[in-house]
Amino acid sequence: MHAIQAVQRGDRAPFRLLVERYHRRVHALVYRLVRNPADADDLAQQAFVNAFDAISDFRLEMRFSAWLYRIAINLAKDHLKSKKRGEEQLGEHDEGVAAESALFCGAYESPDVAPEQAQRARLLQQALATLSWADRTVLVLKDIEELPYEEIKQIVGSPVTALKIRVVRARARLRRALEAQAGEGAL
Partner 1 sequence: MSRRDDDDLLAPLRAQKPPRPRGDESGRFVSEVMRQVALRPTPARAPPPRRRALWFSVSTIFASSAVAAALLLGPRAPIAPRTTATPPAVAAAPAGTVRVRLTLRAPDARAVAIAGEHNGWAQTDCRRADDGTWTVELAVAPGRYRYSFIVDGAFIGDPAAALAADDDFGGKDAILVV
Give me the residues that bind partner 1 (CB under 8 A), please. Answer: 7-10, 12, 15-16, 19-20, 23-24, 27-28, 31-32, 37-38, 40-41, 44-45, 48-49, 52-57, 108-110, 112-113, 117, 120-121, 124-125, 128, 132-134, 137, 139, 143-144, 146, 156-162, 165-166, 168-169, 171-172, 174-175, 178
DSSP state of 157: -
Residue 101 or 149: the one with the smaller Cβ distance to partner 1 is 149
Residue 146 or 184: the one with the smaller Cβ distance to partner 1 is 146
Least separation in angstroms between residue 33's CB and partner 1 is 11
Least separation in angstroms between residue 156's CB and partner 1 is 5
Least separation in angstroms between residue 146's CB and partner 1 is 7
Residue 92 or 113: the one with the smaller Cβ distance to partner 1 is 113
What secondary structure, in 3-state letters, does 32-68 show?
Answer: HHHCCHHHHHHHHHHHHHHHHHCHHHCCCCCCHHHHH
Least separation in angstroms between residue 91's CB and partner 1 is 25
Residue 92 or 150: the one with the smaller Cβ distance to partner 1 is 150
Helix, strand counts (H, E) of the chain: 9, 0
Residue 45 or 101: the one with the smaller Cβ distance to partner 1 is 45
Least separation in angstroms between residue 92's CB and partner 1 is 26
Least separation in angstroms between residue 67's CB and partner 1 is 13
Residue 90 or 184: the one with the smaller Cβ distance to partner 1 is 184
Give the contacts of 84 (CB within 8 A, at least 6 positions apart). 95, 98, 99, 102
